[in-house]
Amino acid sequence: MVKELKGIAASDGIAIAKAYLLVEPDLSFDKTEVADTEAEVKRFQDAVAVSGSELGKIRDIAKESLGEDKAQIFDAHLLVLNDPELITPISENITNNKVNAESALQETTDMFIGMFESMDNEYMRERAADIRDVRKRVLSHLLNVTIPNPALIDEEVVVVAKDLTPSDTAQLNRNFVKGFVTDIGGRTSHSAIMARSLEIPAVVGTGEITHDTKEGQMIIVDGLEGNVIIDPTADQIAHYEKVKSDFAAQQAEWNKLKNEATVSKDGHHVELGANIGTPEDLTGVIANGGEAVGLYRTEFLYMGRENFPTEEEQYEAYKAVLSGMDGKAVVVRTLDIGGDKTLPYLDLPHEMNPFLGFRAIRLCFANKDLFRTQLRALLRASVHGNLKIMFPMIATVNEFRQAKALLEDAKAELLAEGVAVSDTIELGIMIEIPAAAILADQFAKEVDFFSIGTNDLIQYTMAADRMNEQVSYLYQPYNPSILRLVKMVIDAAHKEGKWAGMCGEMAGDQTAVPLLLGMGLDEFSMSASSILKSRSLIKRLDRTEMAKLADEALQQATEEDVVALVNKYTAE
Ligand code: PEP
Ligand code: MG
């Protein structure tokens, strides 16, 4: 039966395909006593054998579709599964204690996991994570429950999930995943941001999609308006096929602006950059006529893997982006882990408020070796292009000074080793904490540039979690309070002769763009897929008029008033 849901439009485009449910299975069980321990051991061994052949299959497919790197994780799982030192004690536990295979598996693996996790050795801690994954697989076979294997997707699907973590998203094969829909999340949750960079249509925050959808049901994802239709009628499919082709025609029109500069009607040039997460995203930046990389979220380099990337690996990635941009600016943001971005191999404390907690630069200050490795890799790569470095989540001027000092230490170290480092690297900060926005005049004396991170700035200013659809009504980019902060930051930068950019999602928002242009923003960095439509818009706008419009917007009381003002102007 047809069911329609409303969510938050997270990534443009229309997808029509079968549902693939990516949901955590229920693996709960009771501890029981068994009489026939021999049969129970056999049941356990069978589950191990099936898990082994399944893992082998996943590894082969992953190698082909996602590459050797991503497939390695499954090799590690196979090693665990074939390790007699782990498997034999489980069988013995069943025999000696007459317990069911599920609880023997749980108890014995808990012991090993506890032991490995307490070791001061990164390699051993990773083995603990492997054991957890393997245990889950064997348990699913014992309980006859299917666990989803996204690496096995080999036909066109719409992925349906409660939420997608950035590392889940990183593992999706864009050839087959045509769209995705989630229960929770907002427009600026990182899964939504990644969907935009992969150019996969997405709707997030539907509340109940996982509850309403069955595996294999047809789904329409309308990432333009935030609608989802489960089990659509033939008429609905025909309608959306038409919307899809109209959207493609519109994109073809925008595409004509690919090699043009971004100049307003009255001749004012601004820079339209792209936000990227991996060197592979450069293809999209170039295809969409990006004039710079305004935000390289380096944390994605640390995700979807089992250990920290080495200095060499990082150097190669940064070099690829810098040389790929061929002298155009590349703003690289240092590691911003925490909040909704976690690493399986980095044990972060469980926090009540992870977005207010131990994340980004705070975490780097506490893990100086980790930070130093990244800074060295960046500095080494600096000779391959136009590098600008920025620090995330800066709240105080002293934090900036400390980060800068660590960068200078790393530079001195490299120079002493005889390694060449560019001496024209600009150094900036993200403005995403209200304290930094309010004190922008002081920061502007010490930094080379600002990049306004509205995704976080809005959540901290409005005290509304960017991931939480229940409070998404408070997530108001056009609220005059936000606009005033943005204006303060731009003015403070200009007063000191510095430039101000924006790399939050607001920079590519079609209602915000006229206001930002009017407020004097120098650089707009957005999902690559938003660049051409923003260029098309800016070419139709007069910057002097937009300055007046922005001044008027700053004097409004509500977000609705601001939107009405902009709409009135654009309708004229
Ligand atoms: C931001 O906060 O606006 C930003 C660009 O950073 P992130 O979305 O990665 O937190
Ligand atoms: Mg941020």
Work out the pLDDT band at 75, boundaries 50, 70, 90: confident
pLDDT score for 540: 95
Ligand 1 contact, 183 CB (< 6 A): no
Asked whether residue 351 is marked as a ligand-binding residue, the answer is: no
Q: Which atom of ligand 1 is nearest to the CA of 504?
A: 3
For position 344, what pLDDT does the model report? 78
The pairing of strands 218-222 and 14-22 is antiparallel
175 is in an annotated binding site: no
**Domains in the chain, ordered, with CATH?**
3-23+149-252 (3.50.30.10), 37-142 (1.10.274.10), 263-507+523-528 (3.20.20.60)
Query: What span, in angstroms and rounded, lies between the C-alpha atoms of 169 and 150?
Result: 10
Query: What CA–CA distance (Å, rounded) separates 338 from 359?
Result: 4
Q: What is the DSSP string of 471-513?
A: GGGG--TT-HHHHHHHHHHHHHHHHTT-EEEE-SGGGG-TTHH
Nearest CA to ligand 1 atom 3: 453
What is the residue-wise DSSP string for 57-73? HHHHHHHHHH-HHHHHH
Tally of helices (H runs) and strands (E runs) in the chain = 22, 16
User: How confident is the model over 231-240, as pLDDT tens digits?
Assistant: 999 999 999 9
Is 503 noted as a catalytic residue in this protein? yes
Mean pLDDT check: name the lowest of 75-79, 126-130, 239-243, 533-537: 126-130
Two tokens, residue 491: 């003015």
DSSP, res 99: B
Is the pLDDT score of 336 beyond 80?
yes
**Helix, strand, coil shares, percent, the chain, to 5:** 55, 15, 30
Report d(CA 63, CA 60) in Å as an integer: 5
Q: In the 8-state DSSP scheme, what is residue 163?
A: -
Tell me, what's the pLDDT at 152? 76
Query: Measured from the CA of 506, which atom of ligand 1 is nearest?
Result: 3
Mutate to test the pocket of ligand 1, among 361, 503, 506 (most ligand atoms within 8 A of CB): 503
Residue 99, pLDDT above cutoff 90: yes
Q: pLDDT band for 70, please (50, 70, 90 cuts).
A: low
The catalytic position among 190, 239, 269, 364 is 190
Residue 121 has pLDDT above 80, yes or no: no
Is the model more confident about 86 or about 432? Answer: 432
364 is catalytic: no
Q: Read off the pLDDT of residues 244-296 as tens digits, 9 standing for 90 and up.
A: 999 999 999 999 999 999 999 999 999 999 999 999 899 999 999 999 999 99
- Is the model more confident about 147 or about 241? 241
CA–centroid distance, 323 to ligand 1, in Å, is 24
The position carrying tokens 């080793």 is 417
Distance 187 CA to ligand 2 centre (A): 13
- Give the closest residue (by CA) to ligand 1 atom 9: 297
**What is the share, in percent, of the chain residues with pLDDT greater than 90?**
76
Q: What percent of the chain has pLDDT over 70?
A: 98
Give the integer Cα–Cα distance in Å for 132 and 138. 10
User: Is any atom of ligand 1 closer than 6 Å to the C-beta of 340?
Assistant: no
67, pLDDT greater than 80: no
Check if 432 has its Cβ closer than 6 Å to any atom of ligand 1. Answer: yes
User: Which residue has 């997030």 as its token pair?
Assistant: 204
Query: What pLDDT was estimated at residue 66?
Result: 62
